Amino acid sequence: MSRARSLKLAGIGTLAGLFSGVFGVGGGSVIVPLLILWIGYDERAAGGTSLLAMIPIAAVGALAQAAYGNIHFADALLVGLPALVGVTCGTSLQQRVPARGVSMLFAALLVALAIELVVQ
Amino acid sequence: MIEVATIGVLAGLVSGLLGVGGGILFVPGLVFVIGLSQVDAEATSLLAIVPVVMLGAWQQHRYGNVRVRDGVLIGLLAVVGSVAGVAVANIVDGRTLRLAFAGVTLVVAAQLVRGAVSSSRPDPAEPESP
């Protein structure tokens, strides 16, 4: 792995973590576009690798939040279990739609995120 | 109940399709449908994200779309970064942070669209070394 590439990956990780810590999210909305734009990942590899990277981020974040007593466990199940069905359909669908379509959808997601940040 | 389940399915769909955690739908769902506070919704969303990204990552791995070493490096550094992020969130005004991030997010969205419509792409990433 080249030094420049390692530095970019480290930068992506740090930025995703900052974003996650500040806003309490998983960080995927930072990881995916930066893997595509900075390192030249294709959309599918960016999405797959981002999902792996988010496991420790979300797990540590959830542990910290649990220590503060902020987690509603039953509600987490209520949204999380149906999401397992959704993620299975989503990854399968991702293999079938054109990669550039995924980029366009991601751009739409970012616009929605920007709106959510402003109105929150 | 059906509303919440629908939001969950949609969040999972977005997660698998785009490689995000689904918090962008979990959080508003928990706030507006269930009535949690913003802080509790973000906390609860983080927990809900864990199994979703685990299952999604495993499925993507089977499709051959996960670069394990890169993902582990990003994930571990992000854990460090998130501690710094929590500190920043306590120092800087929340409204300012949100507006700044919203601006950055729109710039990134524009770059993704530009990349998707232009025919040229940066060189493919280095393959993982054996």
Helix (H, G, I), strand (E, B) or coil at B129: coil
- Are A32 and A50 in contact, with CB atoms under 8 Å apart? yes
ipTM above 0.90, yes or no: yes
Residues 12-41 of B with CB under 8 A from A: 12-24, 26-30, 34, 36, 38-40
CA distance B91 to chain A (A): 10
pLDDT above 70 covers a percentage of chain B that reads 91
Q: How confident is the model at residue A1 (pLDDT cuts 50, 70, 90)?
A: low
Do residue A90 and residue B85 have CB atoms under 8 angstroms apart? no
Query: Whole-angstrom Cα distance, residue A54 to residue B85?
Result: 16
Mean pLDDT, residues A82-96 taken together: 96
Do residue B75 and residue A13 have CB atoms under 8 angstroms apart? yes
Do residue A103 and residue B113 have CB atoms under 8 angstroms apart? yes
Higher per-residue confidence, B94 vs B44? B44
Q: How confident is the model at residue B121 (pLDDT cuts 50, 70, 90)?
A: low
> What digits encode the pLDDT tens for the residues B55-74?
999 999 999 999 999 999 99
Sign of CA dihedral A89, A95, A97, A99: positive
Q: What is the pTM of this model?
A: 0.90
pLDDT for A47 = 96
